[in-house]
Amino acid sequence: LTRDEVGLGFTVAGGRGSTPYKANDQSIYISRISKGGAAEQEGSLRVGDKLVSVNGIDVTTVQHDEAVTLLTRTTGPILLIVTRSIDQEGMTPANFGQFTVFV
């Protein structure tokens, strides 16, 4: 994902020391995708994706402000690893769960 003149085109919520995005889970989650922003144009991220790493840096246990700082201070292309819960209608127990998206 490459930042445009406005930014990366998404916001995050959660993290240690902040209000959880999902109950009892202190992970960082994608909470909003900006209309027309870099993330929407790239097309891989979804609201509710859990952020695992940013350019190889593990963010699974960081505070909210640490994640925001890492995301806003990174220049050039950015590699995000996220997990996404699959809970769509028609999914069977064999293929229900999580997968990793490389952005």
| Residue 3 included in any domain | no
Q: Per residue of the chain (103 residues), what is the pLDDT tens digit? A: 888 888 999 999 999 989 999 988 999 999 999 999 999 999 999 999 999 999 999 999 999 999 999 999 988 889 999 988 776 455 555 555 555 555 5
Catalogue the long-range contacts made by 31-37 (C-beta closer than 8 Å, 24 or more residues apart): 33/9, 34/6, 34/7, 34/9, 34/10, 36/9, 37/4, 37/6, 37/7, 37/8, 37/9, 37/10
pTM for this predicted structure: 0.83
> Residue 79, CB half-sphere, CA atoms under 13 Å: how many?
6
Q: Where are the alpha helices (DSSP H) in 18-97?
A: 38-42, 64-73
Q: Specify the pLDDT at position 88.
A: 46
Structural domain contains residue 56:
yes
Which domain range does residue 18 map to?
A: 10-102
Kindly give the pairing relationship between strand 50-54 and strand 57-58: antiparallel
Residue 2: inside a domain, yes or no? no
Residue 60 located in a structural domain: yes
Domain count, the chain: 1
Q: Is residue 87 part of a domain?
A: yes
Instruction: State residue 34's pLDDT score.
Output: 96
Q: What is the pLDDT of residue 30?
A: 96
Can you give the CATH number for the domain in which 47 is found?
2.30.42.10
Residue keyed to tokens 């994608």: 30
